Amino acid sequence: MDSLDKNRLLLEMDKSISDLNREIINPAIPELQLKDLQPVITLVAMARKEYLKALFDIAAECPSALPTPQQVARLAELRSSYEELLAGARAMETAIERGYLDIQR
């Protein structure tokens, strides 16, 4: 297979991926406006706040000592929640950028 054939195949594959993503994702989520995304944005901001607040609280409670394993575990749990919600928001952003979701005008 020469370079031109590979490029053509990759372009066709990319188009197929795009078409399938739109076909599968679009019906599940109605046309979007910014107000529809506000709950997602708010959720990520709240999770970020909880994570950062916990870090500051630990630092205030343990100014000259390492945090307890329980404090670290709680911080890790909050970080995991924040990162998962952030990844979801980024996936939504990508779906919008790639045209998988309709935007209301």
CA distance 105 to 101: 13
Across the chain, mean pLDDT equals 95
User: How many angstroms separate the Cα of 105 from the Cα of each of 40, 46, 64, 77, 94?
Assistant: 20, 28, 55, 39, 19
Give me the pLDDT at residue 105, please: 80
- Is 34 inside any structural domain? yes
Give me the pLDDT at residue 33, please: 94
What's the domain count of the chain? Answer: 1
Give me the pLDDT at residue 62, please: 87
- Is 105 inside any structural domain? no
Whole domain around residue 69: which residue ranges?
3-97
Q: Note down pLDDT in tens along the chain; length 105 residues.
A: 788 889 999 999 999 999 999 999 999 999 999 999 999 999 999 999 999 999 999 999 988 899 999 999 999 999 999 999 999 999 999 999 999 999 998
Give me the pLDDT at residue 64, please: 87
- Is 86 inside any structural domain? yes
- Is 47 inside any structural domain? yes
Residue 32 gets which letter from DSSP? B
CA 74: distance to chain centroid? Answer: 21
